[in-house]
Chain A
Amino acid sequence: MKILVCISNVPDTTTKVKFKEGDSLFDDSGVQWIINPWDELALTRAMELKEDAGNSVNEICVIHVGGASADATLRKALAIGADKAVRIDACPADAYHVAGQIAEYLKENPFDIIFSGIESSDYNGSSVGAMIAEFMDYPGISSVTSVNLDDDDIQVNRAIPGGKQVIKTETPFVAVVQKGIANEPRIPSMRGIMMARKKPLEVKPAAELEVLTESIKFELPQEKGACKMIDSESTEQLVDLLKNEAKVL
């Protein structure tokens, strides 16, 4: 069984975002790039499934759509334990474009399970996984909090408001994963980093695909007014302010 993990290369979650060229472009100077947090958890879960001798996962490949600047992030994914990395050499214009590129790769290189993070922490499109499923005409499961294989019988948990569903599916399928899919992301070991240098990182040319949406401008949120401090003995005053000033009760 082969697992494909889609990787987005995003600014570190502590980045203070800035824009340039008349607020039309993200200013990436000095930005530290990381594997998108949900994708990192997906990769971790894929590794756990491969390490469990009870099932037949024999290959984990990570895939990314973007330029050469993402290669360091893909090497990190290899150091964590992926067997192979693929980068589609295209400017990731929008979710439709990215999902279409990955679908083109999948048509030539089939996988059994495709993991995609619920969103990327940069453009928060939350669409790529479900779009891949539709391009490929595969079943897709959203809001996935666990994937288990028992003799290759697949059981997936999906979060629903205030609860969960346990789902069985056939392969191939797309799992759009969120928090809970793995507990802690793995940190590459020294040995992993050494081995990653020898693992394949294939660069594929982009397919001709349409772009349906375009980011044209960014703005920063308005500064919040000062916090009104209340004495810890005066909780009645806070209740009064919430009722009569903020009017949120």
Chain B
Amino acid sequence: MSVIAFAKNWNGKFKNSTFELVSYTKALANQLNTNMVVLSIGEVAEEELKLLGNYGADKVLTVSDPQLNTLTSRAYADIVAKAADSVGAEVIVLSDNNSGKAIAPRVSVKLKAGLVAAVQELPVSLEPFVVKKRVFSGKAFGHVQIKSDKKILTIAKNCFGLVKNPCDITIEEFAVDIDTNLFKVKIVEEEEQKDKVILSDADVVVSAGRGMRSPENWAPVEELAEVLGAATACSRPVSDEGWRGHEEHVGQTGKVIAPNLYIAAGISGAIQHVAGISRSKCIVAINTDPEAPIFSVADYGIVGDVMDVLPRLTEAFRNSKS
């Protein structure tokens, strides 16, 4: 028996969420009194793979085939399932991100392994195996029992944190036949913003709503984000009106995020918006209406016009840095 974690890379690099995954899986392996194996797919430099050892990984299996450098969910799922079988894994752990959402369900079907997505913490019990997850878009938590022998979890971002646990690491190439029939989906073009902080990865998010009154008024939001090294986001009406792109919409039907700090400027805080931000560690709300529901979920609040408050806040952050 063992536990296996799938460590996704982006252009050969891991993210903090990968290290959080390894930290979680190590703690799970300890809880189950077993060992952990980490699986990496695609070409990743040895130096980068060794970073996994900082968080408790002592064994890494890597499939460093260049045709796997971009995510092909069928091929990845096939490899994850084969690696899990080869190490006799009882639990398979992935991150709850785009790739985890694409791969984990396929592995679940392949191995007939019960899957629980967006798990919040270590299992609440092992016999029976019960984990806790967000349900009803964050309005509640559910305790879910996995009844199958093999189990799959995806873990929610920022649910566990990073736990340093330096280990001597061995890296082994995992030999696997890759079925080229699984590459029927062809990527013909790819665009990536290199200059902006990625919303789903950001530790600090500055978000704005209809209180900004017009799309021309966004400069104070962007300036504050720049000073904080933050990503920008928006409420649903703002993206529906086309003031900002859909990729910035946070909320129940947009992105669900969990930054350390979320600043909501001119956002009233409808229940659907709160569903997307309730896992933030700290929420700051700025709104003209002292009765706005956003203040009931915020940790700190300022009643005032965003167009006045945002520039002052930017100035205050700038001064505190210098």
The answer on a CB contact under 8 Å between A216 and B101 is: no
A115 at the interface (CB under 8 A from B): no
Contact with A along B286-302 (1 / 0, CB 8 A): 00000000011111111
Minimum Cβ distance to chain B for residue A98 (Å)? 11
B139 at the interface (CB under 8 A from A): yes
SS class of chain A's interface: helix, strand, loop or mixed? mixed
State how many residues of chain B have any CB contact under 8 Å with chain A.
Answer: 95
Contacts of B240 on A, CB cut-off 8 Å? 183-184
Cβ-neighbour of B190 out of A127, A166, A214, A238 (below 8 A): A166
SS class of chain B's interface: helix, strand, loop or mixed? mixed
Which A-B residue pairs are the 5 nearest by beta carbons?
Answer: A232-B304, A212-B114, A163-B192, A130-B105, A142-B102
- Of A133, A145, A163, A227, chain B has the most CB atoms within 10 Å of the CB of A227
Contact with B along A57-100 (1 / 0, CB 8 A): 00000000000000000000000000000000000001110010
Known: A162-B193, A166-B188, A248-B260. A218 touches B98 (CB 8 A): no
Closest B residue to A145 using CB positions:
B246
A192 at the interface (CB under 8 A from B): no
A56 to B32, CA, bound (A): 54
Contacts of A169 on B, CB cut-off 8 Å? 184-186
Contacts of A240 on B, CB cut-off 8 Å? 320
A164 at the interface (CB under 8 A from B): yes
The answer on a CB contact under 8 Å between B147 and A211 is: yes
The answer on a CB contact under 8 Å between B109 and A239 is: no
Cβ-neighbour of A130 out of B102, B191, B249 (below 8 A): B102
Cβ-neighbour of A238 out of B106, B192, B201, B316 (below 8 A): B316
A-B contact pairs, 18 of them (CB 8 A): A99-B105, A121-B136, A122-B135, A124-B118, A127-B101, A130-B105, A131-B108, A134-B109, A139-B74, A161-B201, A176-B101, A176-B102, A184-B240, A212-B148, A213-B116, A214-B147, A228-B300, A238-B302
Minimum Cβ distance to chain A for residue B260 (Å)? 4
The answer on a CB contact under 8 Å between A140 and B102 is: yes
Contact with B along A225-238 (1 / 0, CB 8 A): 10111111101101
The answer on a CB contact under 8 Å between A170 and B184 is: yes
Known: A160-B192, A216-B145, A227-B300. A131 touches B116 (CB 8 A): no
